[in-house]
Structure 1
Amino acid sequence: MRLVIAPDSFKGSLTAREAAEAIRDGWLSVRPGDDIALAPMADGGEGSLDAFEAAVPGARREPVMAVGPDDQPVLARWLRLPPTPGLPGGTGVVELAATSGLTLMRSGLRPFDAHTFGLGQAIRAALTLGVSRLLIAVGGSASTDGGVGALTAMGARLTDAAGAPVPYGNLGAGKVARVSFDGAVPLPAAGAVVLTDVDNPLLGPRGAAAVFGPQKGASSDAAVRALEGNLASLAAVVPDGARLAETPGAGAAGGVAFGLLAWGATLSPGAPAVAEALQLADTIAGADLVITGEGRFDGQSEAGKAPTQVAALARAAGVPTALVAGAIQASVDAFSASASLTDLAGSTDAALAEPARWARAAGAALAGAR
């Protein structure tokens, strides 16, 4: 058989490459003669830099010192893709998870204070070095600040009723009375594209606070309502904020996508962009089976996550797709087979303690079922 293994990262436990290699090793332990191609994926979240770096020859990582989501310093990297016709300065790829991600919180979850200032610093660094286009992967955020932190780092002025700069986090979003982009870094010549892995709007029952706030420490309905109220206050004062707030994907990364839209960026699903860079459709063509996966396959997975994109490409090529996930919490009817690390290990804690071991077990289980 010829296989393509194209998982996303298993957030906080395995990178996309580590997951792909573990699944491959498990498969080969049962079917050692099969031909396997690895294509680690991403969807605009954690691991996007890795995916673009693997796909584009000559890509170079650039360092940037950033303020992390809990105010602690972070040495992060952004990726510079080489010049191409029409893009003489190349393309900069900035990953929010590297500067403002949930995994960077070292002082406990702080739903009202965590911010995206570091993301703005990385964006500013890439633009200062003259990139012609900017891709901003925003999955994995620790905050619900509506982009207040990032915009401030980029030079925008967000001030309260007294004219003083507001704090970077969600509390600051609720204090904004005036927004000015006059001092903000300008968009690059070929524009800035926010790569999102969800299609949620900023506000409402599917908005940033309601859906993602509990993952970031909003442990009560009252806390979620307070987060929502601060985002709504921000949307009311941002130019054209009401329309931008309703844009599918504006609620991504705690609403940072909304803030970047207000700056002038556009939104695009991340998984198709990464798949195109990887030329994944060509890799899948002629395969007998594709295996994809992620840490948790749930109701959000169909809203732009990597496994859904990989399965769509495989379906278009007439190739069956199997799923490996840390936990499976949604229907897997679209897949020919599936394996859950949690089920194989016996518990979530056991799976998280040895994720590579259970990813190998998943690969072996799928191979044994062929």
Structure 2
Amino acid sequence: MGHVLLAPDKFKGSLTAAEVVRHLTAGLHRAAPGIEVRGFPVADGGDGTLDAAVSAGFRRIPVSVAGPTGIPVHTAFGYADGVAVVELADACGLRRLPAGVPDPLHASSRGAGEVIRAVLEYGCPEVVLGLGGSASTDGGAGLVGALGVRLLDERGAELPPGGAALRRLHRVDLTGLHPAVRRTRFVVAGDVDNPLLGPNGAAAVYGPQKGATADDVLLLEAGLTRWAGLAEAAVRDVELIGTDGCPGQPVSAWPGAGAAGGVGFAALGFLGARFRPGIELLLELLGFPEAVAGADLVVTGEGSLDLQSLHGKAPVGVARAAGRAGVPTVAVAGRVSVGPDELRDAGIRAAYPLTDLEPDPAACLDRAAELVGKVAARLAADWLDPAGPPRRR
């Protein structure tokens, strides 16, 4: 009866990618009992990246770090064959805010730096840093602080955490930078190409999503501007395993520098990271090309399949990778707000929204697990032939 590969991202607010796989599998097996189904949860660098790595065979190495407000949290990094996967969101992302209360001026990326420090001391030659879901807009100052960089005011005192404090930055001291940084290869997985500063930058575009008011955005922009100037001067002579970068442009203007509240800037400038589209990098790292070999159909998906999905999100990345292998892709989503022609242009042959079964958004979230199983039956009726392999449309 053929081989179906399930490669969904999370349904944000309702199901993890692994849970989507589980409910799709159950629904497909009810509809087509003999079908071979393999699960391959995916992520694009944000929430779920660590879980996707572990599902693909990476070993989970636990570590305790500072959450976005400094309260300790338990997280981990994934390790396999000399490569470590670090998920910023799991260390100091929005979902780690105590009681979910935003702290846009003071939240810090330090926890992600502490995970990286643990990775360096573990002896990994390559680090993949997944960006997304950040609670902070500190330009990655917290992250590099955890790696030994000191941010000093004009009296020589270290700055407190958060983006607002960067307005008082006077000097960036790299003498304590962890020595392993210079011999480690860093790759950043992200799904945005914003610069650090300006109307398309970290504070202006993403600050409000993290609770920043209009006045807060101005404070954060001022802090990031000062941070950018002093940080770039400080790293100019540091020898790193480097990024290709954009010759002639400051690091703050490079695509991706504004990712995760500016952590992209710190990774590019202080760590010499290369920036890669998150889903492209994760699929390659987790072995998707090998997993899709021999499949007759790929099923991907995410909570909302929309215009943003068409610009580098997981389902389109999966569809394009599957297309290169000659395997058709369909999608399951909480809701779908793009037309069939746009989906086909992105490599998705058909989409199955849960809202077709439950139009009320709140009820759809509450019943997501049940609805995923039910929509799998519709998918099976359209694509799976009991007498042979999945139908090719």
TM-score of the pair, normalised by structure 1: 0.89
In structure 2, C-alpha distance between the alignment counterparts of 1:264 and 1:237, rounded to whole Å: 16
The alignment partner of 1:294 has SS state of strand
How far residue 311 of structure 1 moved from its aligned partner, in angstroms, is 0.9
How far residue 156 of structure 1 moved from its aligned partner, in angstroms, is 0.4
How far residue 330 of structure 1 moved from its aligned partner, in angstroms, is 4.2
- Report if aligned partners of 1:39, 1:278 keep a CA contact under 8 Å in 2: no
Which residue number corresponds to residue 352 of structure 2? 339
- Report if aligned partners of 1:337, 1:366 keep a CA contact under 8 Å in 2: no
How far residue 211 of structure 1 moved from its aligned partner, in angstroms, is 2.8
Q: Match for 1:359 among 351, 367, 372?
A: 372
Which residue number corresponds to residue 256 of structure 2? 249
- Report if aligned partners of 2:189, 2:282 keep a CA contact under 8 Å in 1: no
Which residue number corresponds to residue 47 of structure 2? 46
Q: Match for 1:323 among 324, 328, 331?
A: 331
In structure 2, C-alpha distance between the alignment counterparts of 1:202 and 1:330, rounded to whole Å: 30
How far residue 199 of structure 1 moved from its aligned partner, in angstroms, is 2.0
Q: After the TM superposition, which of the residue ranges 44-53 and 321-330 deviates more from structure 2?
A: 321-330
How far residue 364 of structure 1 moved from its aligned partner, in angstroms, is 2.5
- Report if aligned partners of 2:124, 2:184 keep a CA contact under 8 Å in 1: no
Q: 1:327 to 1:38 in 2, by over 3 A?
A: same
Q: Is 1:133 aligned to residue 126 of structure 2?
A: yes
Which residue number corresponds to residue 197 of structure 2? 203
Q: 1:349 to 1:175 in 2, by over 3 A?
A: farther
How far residue 200 of structure 1 moved from its aligned partner, in angstroms, is 2.1
Q: Match for 1:280 among 281, 285, 288?
A: 288
Q: Percent sequence identity over matched residues?
A: 43
| Aligned structure 1 segments of 4 or more residues deviating by more than 6 angstroms | none
Which residue number corresponds to residue 208 of structure 2? 214
- Report if aligned partners of 2:153, 2:168 keep a CA contact under 8 Å in 1: yes
- Report if aligned partners of 1:148, 1:172 keep a CA contact under 8 Å in 2: no
Which residue number corresponds to residue 99 of structure 1? 91
How far residue 188 of structure 1 moved from its aligned partner, in angstroms, is 5.7
> Can you list the C-alpha shifts for 1:319-365, whole angstroms capped at 9, x where unaligned?
22212223334455232111223453323322222332222233223
- Report if aligned partners of 1:146, 1:173 keep a CA contact under 8 Å in 2: no
Q: Match for 2:160 among 158, 167, 179?
A: 167
The alignment partner of 1:345 has SS state of coil
How far residue 9 of structure 1 moved from its aligned partner, in angstroms, is 1.9
Unaligned regions of 5+ residues in structure 1, if any? 83-89
Q: Is 1:369 aligned to residue 373 of structure 2?
A: no
How far residue 312 of structure 1 moved from its aligned partner, in angstroms, is 0.7
In structure 2, C-alpha distance between the alignment counterparts of 1:357 and 1:210, rounded to whole Å: 39
The alignment partner of 2:192 has SS state of coil
Q: What is the identity, as a one-letter code, of the residue corresponding to 1:3?
A: V
In structure 2, C-alpha distance between the alignment counterparts of 1:79 and 1:176, rounded to whole Å: 34
Which residue number corresponds to residue 156 of structure 1? 149
What are the residue-to-residue correspondences of 1:172-191 with 2, within 5 Å?
Answer: 172-186=165-179, 187=181, 189-191=183-185
> Can you list the C-alpha shifts for 1:33-86, whole angstroms capped at 9, x where unaligned?
322221111221222222222334xx432222211112221011112224xxxx
The alignment partner of 1:111 has SS state of coil
Which residue number corresponds to residue 87 of structure 1? none
- Report if aligned partners of 1:78, 1:93 keep a CA contact under 8 Å in 2: yes
Q: 1:212 to 1:264 in 2, by over 3 A?
A: same
Which residue number corresponds to residue 86 of structure 1? none
In structure 2, C-alpha distance between the alignment counterparts of 1:309 and 1:210, rounded to whole Å: 27
Which residue number corresponds to residue 80 of structure 1? 79
In structure 2, C-alpha distance between the alignment counterparts of 1:94 and 1:102, rounded to whole Å: 16
Which residue number corresponds to residue 230 of structure 1? 223
The alignment partner of 1:110 has SS state of coil
In structure 1, C-alpha distance between the alignment counterparts of 2:172 and 2:356, rounded to whole Å: 50
In structure 2, C-alpha distance between the alignment counterparts of 1:343 and 1:212, rounded to whole Å: 31
How far residue 12 of structure 1 moved from its aligned partner, in angstroms, is 4.0
Q: What is the identity, as a one-letter code, of the residue corresponding to 2:121?
A: T
- Report if aligned partners of 2:182, 2:271 keep a CA contact under 8 Å in 1: no
Q: What is the identity, as a one-letter code, of the residue corresponding to 1:224?
A: V
The alignment partner of 1:362 has SS state of helix
Q: Match for 1:264 among 258, 271, 283?
A: 271
Aligned residues: 360
The alignment partner of 1:215 has SS state of helix
Q: 1:320 to 1:80 in 2, by over 3 A?
A: closer
- Aligned CA RMSD, in angstroms, stands at 2.2
> Can you list the C-alpha shifts for 1:96-139, whole angstroms capped at 9, x where unaligned?
12210111112411211211111111111111222222121122
How far residue 183 of structure 1 moved from its aligned partner, in angstroms, is 0.7
In structure 1, C-alpha distance between the alignment counterparts of 2:111 and 2:266, rounded to whole Å: 14
Q: What is the identity, as a one-letter code, of the residue corresponding to 1:264?
A: L
Q: 1:321 to 1:144 in 2, by over 3 A?
A: same
In structure 2, C-alpha distance between the alignment counterparts of 1:265 and 1:40, rounded to whole Å: 29
